Amino acid sequence: MSEMQQTLKQEVYLSGAGLHTGIEVSVRILPAPENAGIVFVRSDIPSRPEIPAFCTECIKVDKSVRRTTLAKDGYEIQTVEHLMSALWGVGIDNAVVEVSGEEMPGLDGSALNYVKALEDAGVVEQQAARKYFTVREPIVVEDGESSVAVYPDTQFRASYLLSYPHPLLKSQYVTYAENAEATYADTVAPARTFCLKEEAEALKAAGFGQGANFDNTLVLDDKGVMNNSMRLEDECARHKLLDLIGDLYLLGKRLRGRVVAIKSGHRLNAKLVQKLKQVDEFWNVGALRTGANEAMVGPQLDIMQIQKILPHRYPFLLIDRVLGIDEQKAVGVKCVTINDNFFQGHFPGQPVMPGVLIVEAMAQLSGVILLNKPDHRGKIAYFMAVNKVKFRKPVVPGDQLVMEVALGKVRARTAQATGKAFVDGKLVCEGELMFAIGE
């Protein structure tokens, strides 16, 4: 699997009826530039509204019954999971999907026709690195007997346990690994959607499944599959795995982790995606990267993570934790204790933190933002000037110094910042800082 983003060499055209609406629609899948992601476009509407597939707010959990629906600004696209799964399986990171209606065509009820069309169109490698969501700690969502858990792993692996009250659907367990010899196209893509006979009747009565038939849906009665036969052993569990992969691709990134799903469906999958996106934002605020370009964990950077950015070390590293950060501002903490070495000589009988070290702590927090920028990684920020510095209140052992800094003008060799420091919500220091950026 390529480590670079990929798109299509040429456009793909497909048409068919939606599984639930029964409405005939046409679909054009077009190449897209780097970092565009997968974007759906309602081509039947004059304004051609766009619905990005990587936006968690777009997932309509209340409409995730037997399908996954995306919506934005009052417009929606239903049953996107089969195409999303196929795009993942073929390795497409960027594409524009023009749809002439509110639901994707069901085709044969699997991802196979999508995969064949995408592979026939061809894949082209792009210049930008592929985006990954790397799981760093277990993440679980549950609903009664159903659950989906994601665990750290070096690649994508997924397992699904299916258990229905039917002789053919008891305790089916299937597993897929991204780099296994058994390919997605062979073992996952051909698996068709299914339901029990009584479910099919209830869905039809409720207005769903209007485009479903015995060719695109496996319908099971007490004797087996009605008017059809299985393509794969454990085909039903494999279709659940197909759906899971498609739903997980709504992260907008390829997942690196071990997924274990027990009797989950689209609604629970959607909740997992939303939780993963929240965790992703928590872990990667400011898009921090180490020198090895590996995503760092979290906006609350601990001392080890701070040292991956700053060159300072004990006893002159004056930030204990970063509470929040983006490309322009940061909030950090220095816990002031009697064990700080400067108290040995700075008014030891009535210890007070030196004001210049408060300024230095704000400067170091500025450096966390500045030295993380792609053009400045591996460099050093030297103090060039300080202006308008004011000390409002002494800082003593036991205080927690909370600093807020914001970058101003940043050029190739110089940068400006403003900083404020607080104790118990009261301003103790403020000033303007200027840096020279060197190797």
How do beta strands 69-72 and 12-17 pair?
unpaired
**Cβ proximity of 322 and 405 under 8 Å:** no
**Cβ proximity of 200 and 194 under 8 Å:** no
DSSP tag of 133: E
| Cis? peptide before 33, omega within 30° of 0 | no
Neighbours of 233 (CB within 10 A): 9
How do beta strands 75-78 and 139-143 pair?
unpaired
Q: Quick check: is 82 catalytic?
A: no
Q: Quick check: is 166 catalytic?
A: no
What is the identity of the amino acid at 142? E
Q: List all residues 6 or more positions away from 62 whose beta carbon is below 8 Å from its beta carbon.
A: none
Per annotation, catalytic residue among 82, 239, 266, 376:
266
How do beta strands 139-143 and 24-31 pair?
unpaired
Run of H or E including 278: helix 266-283
Task: Tell me how far apart the alpha carbons of residues 337 and 427 are, in angstroms, rounded to a whole number.
Answer: 19
Neighbours of 188 (CB within 10 A): 27
Active site residues: 266, 346
